[in-house]
Structure 1
Amino acid sequence: MHLTVEEALTIYPLSRAKLVAGEKGLTRILRSVNVMDAPDAGDWIKSGEMLFTTAFVMKDHLDMALSTLRMLDERGGAGLGIKVGRYWNEIPQELYDEANRLEMPILELPFEFTFSDQMDALFNAEYTKTTKKLQTVLEKQKQLMQFALRNKESSDIFHMISGILGQPIAVFGQGGNVLFHNTSWSEDILLHQWPWTKTPQWEGFGDTRCFRIPLMDPHGCTGFFKVYVNSPLMLKEEEALFHQAAEILTYHLGLDIQKGKNPSRLHTLSQVFHDFFQRELSFHDFMKNCKSHQLTVLSSTYQCVLTTISTDQLGAARLLNEVRQSFIYHPQLQHYESEHFYLTEGLLSIFALPEERIFHKKEFLASLTSSLSHLSSRSATTGLHCWVSRAKAQPEVIFDAYNECLETHRAADRLHMTQTVLHHESIELFSLFQHLSEEAMYSYYTYVLEPIYGTSKHVDPELALTLEVYFEYDGSINETSRYLFVHRNTVSYRLEKIADLLQMDFKKMSDLLRLKLAFLFRNYLKNKT
């Protein structure tokens, strides 16, 4: 039996009973019912047990009644049911007070019904409830099976599985990156005590519980799956249902990862792109291969993203698999049709920009950044970056888009730029002026920045740092204040002082352009030195 005391009080004839004390204990779990007919019955109390009594053994011994009540509480009992009218005309006030203190329910049982009438009703209600639950589980198993037998990929797989289970879920990638969740919890709470062991287990989670299952395939763990439930007790059949859902997820996620290793469409197309970029394949043959493999992302406006990892990074291939997984299942990036290929330099992702709605470059870059945030935060992960091309409208310029990604990568190295995600527009100015002599660069930046960095000047270092961060974050006062851990008004005040020192107006595009060039040249020469 797995009922709360409150649920038990809705079942006839126990519904005729009256709750007289311990109202705050109505959520106690009732697993069994026992009849107290001996003085030492309290010694045999089990967890979840409710005692029914006529009060015969305690009618002249209030201390025994109080002791029994306390023992019920200590052993996790469900409550005490007393049939008033035979040996007790009323329940002593001291017992009321103690029950309220312990939050232990006391019920006045209906006199006209036997104990067996009430016990049978409880067991029958539990049997009916369990049967209905099993029927529901069976129906959900059939729905999961039908979903799995569709034999086609669905970008909405997570919502589908959550809907079938009727519970909120969370799905995590290999590295703990959150691929999906429809809970009310933050990602930090969802990842509590990460990394996890690769064994299924229950864990407490606020007022609810969750069942965590590792997604295991023959190649290892492809991620984790959590189901969040409000019910205090679950049937073993329901756990089996969760395992069945986990197997479907394992298939989909594992297939995504293994596509990069096995002979497949992805493997073939990766080789096609590699050969085309190396000029070993003509554009005609390139498009012919793309068409034969039904690659459609180049048929509309698209954007290329090259993800690279430092060459000394251990497990780089596996980390790129995790990045690909994050891009595919990220809530915002799911709106874009995408293809992902493994090249010598890293992971090349092509996102088709939706024509039915306005494309916001800032939101797109923010989505890339958030999808990498967990991977980038690992202490062991360094040198993970995304280099983003400008938007392209024809397939003929895919090579240009790829080169823009590489050019952004090279320029960022020369300019010592540390952003995780960097758009080609951020380095376009430097591309125009990179052929200037180093003497000319040095002369220009020292002339512009001399009021701040000149050897004879005594400028507050905080002002110089504020200006550097302000330009690093493309003139965003909010981002600058967040990085420096100061209020945005403080940033604005410092920028006003800097503008006075430099004799510039930061509202003028020409002055901002001069400063932008000065910092580009300064960073380039400083890093080279």
Structure 2
Amino acid sequence: MNEPPAASYGNAGSSSLRRARQRLFTRFNTDSTNEGSSIHMHLTVEEALTIYPLSHAKLVAGHQGVNRMLRSVNVMDAPDAGDWIKTGEMLLTTAYAMKDQLDIALSLLRMLDERGGAGLGIKVGRYWSAIPQELFDEANRLHIPILELPFEFTFSDQMDALFSADHTKTTKKLQLVLEKQKQLMQYALRQKETGSLFPMISGILGYPLAVFGQSGHLLYNNTALTDETLLDGWPWPAAPRWEGFGDSRCFRLPLMQGQSCAGCMKIYLNAPHMLKEEEALFHQAAEIVTHHLTPHVEQRKNTSRQHQLNSAFAGFFNREFSFHDLMRSCDHHEVTALSGTYQCVFTTVSLQHPNRSRLLNETRQLLMYHSLMQAYESEHLYLEDGLLSIFKLPEEQPFHKKDFTSTLSACLSGSASLSRNPNLSGVQCWVSRTKSKPELLHNAYRECLETKQAAERLQIKHTLLHYESIELFSLFQHLSEEAMINYATQILEPIYSKNKLIDPELVLTLEMYFEYDGSINETSRYLFVHRNTVSYRLEKLADILQMDFKKMNDLLRLKLAFLFRSYLKHRDSHEMYRT
């Protein structure tokens, strides 16, 4: 059907056009200064070209602009049509107003580009037999799509089809959002906390995300962006906000628990358009993440898994519950961290610290969700004096006992509160020896407490301390400092005396040799030298110290000397032992 100029619509108009008016809730106007008809959609020009009957149109220019968003369609043939262009709008025209004035067509094209229009559709055959080459050139320069519309279809046919297709697309997207909401609700109803929380949330939403803790430390990131880029502008206001534009947009949500902010989540979109319902879905996901990041709030609810486990473990350590009672509670709540080889970490903060609760919660976030800790299944429990974390160690391959401690140290060093904000320092973690049976849990907890107590006596301020570091000292803790000084001086004087010129690399090699429990491979790895170099240095040191490192007695003497020296360094008891 031939398309008349817009000025004739108000007089009679076709019955199909009247039906289109009703279906699309739009109107056509005879006033040339009005904006004509408009429907609102969320398609790209490329998607629109797949929809019948617009699929019969030809994309004749501006091919690089096919990803422009098509949000509305207007039919305009007035000379001043450009004054009414909106963002995302595609103009359909018979070229009536510009058939003899190419400058009007060029001006219209430039106005479309300036206002972010979607493109220009021209029905050729009535007023233009062919689209002028100058218009092609300008469209290609501006990347504005020009469509040669099929002559046999009316504008209303094409608009109706676009609206129906967009409605179908939106309906499908709403159904998908509803399905995602259902999955989030199902996940939220699960009581067990899991380190896979963030990958699960990201998978349900279908977008990459980054999650930050209370002090800006990165807990999770499956985007392609670096930590520095993700943290740009931190600290952020505690309000939802969009960042970026187009395909580079992200939605930033604070993780609010009442008036307290437990962290922040950024969701990165790979699509230029998002429904309001999907934004509401992001808020729902943020609430679930907040719930898991702030479990201390849930302790007030007797029905919560966290509270029940805290009570069971506290009762067991206080001899109020039997081991059988504890295991029954663990089975009920699907606690599996004790089912293999495990280690315990007890985290404490001074009771007088003004941010004690915040620091304990932040440490829990790191230990549970940090990417470095994802190799370990874990359980985290709030006890009266601190946070007890139980880590199940991997069993697939030989696992060196220092691997866990090294990973734990690297995880804690990434905390903003520990590394970037000295005012929040105060976290200390005490690590037990490796255990292989659930029955040894009480021993592991006791080792953590003994490590804490020994560190207080030794005035050791380390963030992380292993039980094995103070185990021998507990046997000799009642020795006087004078006796320790005399013993350490007698053994280590050949390498630490100011009167002896000893290569510092030799001394460092010996220190690392004992730090890594006599492992030449680990020592060489730390020093970035060949293991034969380590062996050569140890032979040279054995001559200097008049010892045989193959004899247990000599190794034990050196171990005690280094232990006493470490104690004296932390106490600053003697000038020669200061760091």
Matched, 1:153 2:192: yes
Structure 2: tracts of 5 or more residues without a match? 1-40, 574-579
Quick check: 2:220–2:370 contact (8 Å CA) kept in 1? yes
Higher Cα radius of gyration: 2
Give the aligned partner of residue 78 of structure 2.
Answer: 38
Name the CA shift for 1:77/1:456 in 2 (closer, same or farther; >3 Å). Answer: same
Letter in 2 for 1:52: L
1:15-26 correspondence to structure 2 within 5 Å: 15-26=55-66
Q: Give the alignment partner of residue 323 of structure 2, picking from 283, 287, 295.
A: 287
Give the aligned partner of residue 377 of structure 1.
Answer: 419
Give the aligned partner of residue 435 of structure 2.
Answer: 392
Q: Give the alignment partner of residue 113 of structure 2, picking from 62, 73, 76.
A: 73
Matched, 1:368 2:408: yes
Shift of the alpha carbon at 1:10? Answer: 1.6
Letter in 1 for 2:418: S
Name the CA shift for 1:364/1:32 in 2 (closer, same or farther; >3 Å). Answer: same
Quick check: 1:42–1:72 contact (8 Å CA) kept in 2? yes
Deviations 1:369-389 (A, max 9, x none): 355332533413313222111
Shift of the alpha carbon at 1:116? Answer: 2.9
In the alignment, the residues of structure 2 paired with residue 83 and residue 40 of structure 1 have an alpha-carbon distance, to the nearest angstrom, of 19
Name the CA shift for 1:496/1:209 in 2 (closer, same or farther; >3 Å). Answer: farther
In the alignment, the residues of structure 2 paired with residue 317 and residue 290 of structure 1 have an alpha-carbon distance, to the nearest angstrom, of 26
Letter in 2 for 1:343: E
1:246-285 correspondence to structure 2 within 5 Å: 246-254=286-294, 256-260=295-299, 264-269=307-312, 271-273=314-316, 275-276=318-319, 285=321
Shift of the alpha carbon at 1:401? Answer: 2.5
Shift of the alpha carbon at 1:266? Answer: 4.0
1:115-514 correspondence to structure 2 within 5 Å: 115-148=155-188, 150=189, 152-153=191-192, 155=194, 157-204=197-244, 207-218=247-258, 220-254=260-294, 256-260=295-299, 264-269=307-312, 271-273=314-316, 275-276=318-319, 285-287=321-323, 289-290=325-326, 293-294=329-330, 301-310=341-350, 313-329=353-369, 332=373, 335-336=376-377, 338-344=379-385, 346-351=386-391, 360-372=400-412, 373-374=414-415, 375-379=417-421, 380-393=423-436, 397-412=440-455, 420-431=463-474, 434=477, 437-446=480-489, 450=493, 453-456=496-499, 488=528
Shift of the alpha carbon at 1:114? Answer: 3.2
Deviations 1:274-297 (A, max 9, x none): 634xxxx6xxx5436535644776
Shift of the alpha carbon at 1:320? Answer: 1.2
Give the aligned partner of residue 123 of structure 2.
Answer: 83
Deviations 1:404-449 (A, max 9, x none): 2233334556667665333222334544555555445434544565
Q: Give the secondary-structure state (helix, strand or coil) at the position aligned to 1:240.
A: helix
Q: Give the secondary-structure state (helix, strand or coil) at the position aligned to 2:249.
A: strand
Q: TM-score, normalising length from structure 2?
A: 0.73
In the alignment, the residues of structure 2 paired with residue 154 and residue 238 of structure 1 have an alpha-carbon distance, to the nearest angstrom, of 25
In the alignment, the residues of structure 2 paired with residue 509 and residue 262 of structure 1 have an alpha-carbon distance, to the nearest angstrom, of 59
Shift of the alpha carbon at 1:157? Answer: 4.9
Shift of the alpha carbon at 1:316? Answer: 0.8
In the alignment, the residues of structure 2 paired with residue 502 and residue 355 of structure 1 have an alpha-carbon distance, to the nearest angstrom, of 37
Shift of the alpha carbon at 1:271? Answer: 4.4
Q: Bigger shift: 418-427 or 128-137?
A: 418-427
Shift of the alpha carbon at 1:46? Answer: 1.4
Quick check: 1:470–1:480 contact (8 Å CA) kept in 2? no
In the alignment, the residues of structure 2 paired with residue 499 and residue 438 of structure 1 have an alpha-carbon distance, to the nearest angstrom, of 31
In the alignment, the residues of structure 1 paired with residue 161 and residue 406 of structure 2 have an alpha-carbon distance, to the nearest angstrom, of 59
Q: TM-score, normalising length from structure 1?
A: 0.79
In the alignment, the residues of structure 2 paired with residue 218 and residue 259 of structure 1 have an alpha-carbon distance, to the nearest angstrom, of 13
Deviations 1:22-68 (A, max 9, x none): 22222211111223422222222211112233334334444433332
Letter in 2 for 1:290: L
Q: Give the alignment partner of residue 52 of structure 1, picking from 80, 83, 92.
A: 92
Structure 1: tracts of 5 or more residues without a match? 482-487
Name the CA shift for 1:257/1:62 in 2 (closer, same or farther; >3 Å). Answer: same
Name the CA shift for 1:465/1:52 in 2 (closer, same or farther; >3 Å). Answer: farther
Shift of the alpha carbon at 1:79? Answer: 1.8
Give the aligned partner of residue 484 of structure 1.
Answer: none
Q: Give the secondary-structure state (helix, strand or coil) at the position aligned to 2:346.
A: strand
In the alignment, the residues of structure 1 paired with residue 235 and residue 379 of structure 2 have an alpha-carbon distance, to the nearest angstrom, of 30
Quick check: 1:270–1:343 contact (8 Å CA) kept in 2? no
Q: Give the secondary-structure state (helix, strand or coil) at the position aligned to 2:408.
A: helix
Give the aligned partner of residue 485 of structure 1.
Answer: none
Name the CA shift for 1:57/1:262 in 2 (closer, same or farther; >3 Å). Answer: closer
Quick check: 1:180–1:330 contact (8 Å CA) kept in 2? yes
Q: How big is the alpha-carbon RMSD for the aligned residues of Structure 1 and Structure 2?
A: 4.3
